[in-house]
């Protein structure tokens, strides 16, 4: 299974670069990275088991670095891996007081 994400700052209408992201399966840290200039982060190309996974985005430090007060110090997206051979792309649309996500392609 491969996992990637794309974070967009929905207030500015731009990619959110520089956000730390961690990928977990249960309590096990599988991978970590930082969103690039385009707001993208490919976390793993390694195979992993089916089951529940979490992406944890360090949004608090990212907003603080921009001098923006925000409600969510981190965003945790929990998703089910049903087909370990498939690519899983999990985008995050981010604002200081809201966020949204979906299963990407």
Domain count, the chain: 1
Q: In which residue are the tokens 């992993």 written? A: 48
**Would you place residue 75 in the very low, low, confident or very high pLDDT band (cuts 50, 70, 90)?**
very high
**Would you place residue 70 in the very low, low, confident or very high pLDDT band (cuts 50, 70, 90)?**
very high
Answer yes or no: are the C-beta atoms of 63 and 55 closer than 8 Å: no
**Would you place residue 73 in the very low, low, confident or very high pLDDT band (cuts 50, 70, 90)?**
very high
Least confident of 44-48, 66-70, 84-88: 44-48
CATH number for the domain that contains residue 20: 2.60.40.180
**Would you place residue 65 in the very low, low, confident or very high pLDDT band (cuts 50, 70, 90)?**
very high
Domain membership of residue 53 as a residue range: 2-101
Structure tokens of 75?
């965003």
How crowded is residue 58: how many other Cβ atoms within 10 Å of its Cβ? 17
pTM metric for this prediction:
0.94
Write out pLDDT tens, residues 7-62.
999 999 999 999 999 999 999 999 999 999 999 999 988 767 899 999 999 999 99
């Amino acid at each position: 299974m491969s996992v990637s994400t794309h974070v967009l700052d929905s207030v500015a209408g731009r990619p959110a670069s520089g956000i730390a992201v961690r990928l977990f399966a249960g309590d096990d840290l599988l991978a970590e990275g930082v969103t690039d200039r385009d707001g993208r982060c490919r976390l793993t190309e390694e195979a992993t088991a089916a089951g529940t996974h979490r992406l944890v985005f360090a949004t608090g430090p990212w907003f603080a670095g921009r001098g923006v007060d925000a409600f969510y110090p981190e965003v945790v997206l929990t998703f089910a891996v049903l087909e370990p051979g498939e690519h899983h792309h999990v985008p995050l649309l981010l604002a200081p007081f809201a966020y949204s996500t979906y299963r990407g392609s």
